[in-house]
């Protein structure tokens, strides 16, 4: 008689689960969620088991505690160890978990794997082949993880305008990629912005105050008579970032650095 598969969670399974955790908001962590159903099937586990594990991780997440969300209290010692391992070295753990996630779905370098709350896990062909170096692959896996986590945290919408065309959205870094290596893959260092607003944020023409409200640089003021500037910037001045109620908030200290060092006052 064949032995039944072990019900014990392995370290690798938990790292993949943490990866998915950061691509969903707390309210999406239930057994009917398409991404949870798809990943549980690949893991050979029940969707309810995976959903509960994500809710266990939620109890360890300080960003959710700030919003009064507690999660489930059943986190194991291994859960805690893997959570700490993942977040104490994001630069290594996030790309590694993205690689393991992709492997479960049989995706090589000719395919992209995207998690969205509505469609679950989608595997698609891409025009490029496996011709990049290992270092570049590692960077790409980290960027894929960060993009999906940030866009899904904002419900797939620009935080300023609400634009919901995924191809026109950018996972913007608050602290620049090039100068803040430790925060490159931190979801709280990310904003979901349209390509236009990402460019404006990157060069300091816009920023967000401590209440997450949009501020415009004085450099933009002379251009407010232009229809495109008025409709894309002036119309949203003073409005708060659009985020789901159970989303992880951008780090206020990171935004303060942007206001002080990048924003063109």
**pLDDT tens readout for residues 169-224:** 999 999 999 899 899 999 999 999 999 999 999 999 999 999 999 999 999 989 99
pLDDT of residue 128: 55
Q: List, as own/partner pairs, every contact residues 85-91 make where C-beta atoms lie below 8 angstroms and the sequence separation is at least 24, other chains included.
A: 85/15, 86/15, 86/18, 90/182, 90/184, 90/185, 90/186, 91/142, 91/181, 91/182, 91/184, 91/185
The pLDDT, as a whole number, for residue 1 is 38
- The closest alpha carbon to 151, from 165, 169, 125, belongs to 169
- pTM of structure: 0.90
**Average confidence score pLDDT of the chain:** 93
Per-residue pLDDT at 219: 93
Measuring CA to CA, which residue among 188, 190, 11, 184 is closest to residue 89?
A: 184
Q: Which residues contact 68 (CB under 8 A, 6 or more apart)?
A: none
112 — pLDDT class (breaks 50, 70, 90): very high
pLDDT of residue 265: 87
pLDDT digits (tens, 9 = 90+) for 81-105: 999 999 999 999 999 999 999 999 9
pLDDT tens-digit series, residues 34-66: 999 999 999 999 999 999 999 999 999 999 999
Confidence of residue 7 (pLDDT cuts 50, 70, 90): confident
Residues 180 and 215: beta-carbon distance below 8 Å: no
How deeply is 91 buried, as exposed, middle or buried, from its count of CB atoms within 10 A (0-12, 13-18, 19+)? middle
Q: How confident is the model at residue 2 (pLDDT cuts 50, 70, 90)?
A: very low
| Domain ranges, ordered by start, for the chain | 11-153, 166-261
pLDDT digits (tens, 9 = 90+) for 126-160: 765 455 455 588 899 999 999 999 999 999 999 99
Task: For residues 238-246, give the mean pLDDT.
Answer: 96
* pLDDT of 258 strictly over 60: yes
């Amino acid at each position: 008689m064949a032995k039944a598969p072990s019900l014990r969670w392995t370290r690798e399974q938990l790292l993949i689960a943490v990866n998915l955790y950061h691509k969903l908001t707390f309210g999406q962590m239930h057994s009917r969620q398409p991404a949870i159903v798809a990943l549980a099937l690949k893991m050979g586990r029940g969707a309810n088991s995976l959903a509960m594990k994500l809710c266990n991780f939620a109890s360890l997440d300080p960003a959710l505690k700030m919003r009064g969300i507690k999660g489930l209290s059943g986190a194991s010692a291994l859960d805690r160890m893997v959570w700490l391992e993942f977040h104490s070295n994001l630069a290594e753990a996030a790309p590694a978990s993205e690689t393991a996630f992709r492997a479960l779905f049989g995706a090589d370098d000719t395919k992209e794997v995207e998690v969205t709350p509505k469609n679950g896990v989608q595997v698609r062909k891409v025009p490029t082949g496996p011709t990049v170096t290992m270092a570049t692959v590692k960077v790409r896996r980290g960027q894929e993880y960060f993009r999906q986590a940030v866009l899904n945290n904002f419900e797939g919408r620009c935080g300023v305008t609400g634009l919901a065309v995924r191809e026109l959205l950018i996972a913007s870094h608050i602290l620049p990629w090039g100068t803040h290596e430790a925060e490159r893959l931190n979801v709280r260092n990310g904003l979901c912005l349209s390509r236009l607003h990402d460019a404006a944020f990157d060069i300091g023409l816009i920023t967000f105050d401590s209440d997450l409200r949009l501020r415009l640089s004085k450099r933009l003021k002379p251009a407010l008579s232009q229809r495109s500037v008025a409709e894309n910037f002036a119309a949203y001045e003073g409005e708060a970032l659009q985020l789901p109620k159970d989303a992880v908030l951008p780090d206020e200290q990171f935004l303060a650095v942007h206001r002080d060092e990048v924003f063109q006052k």
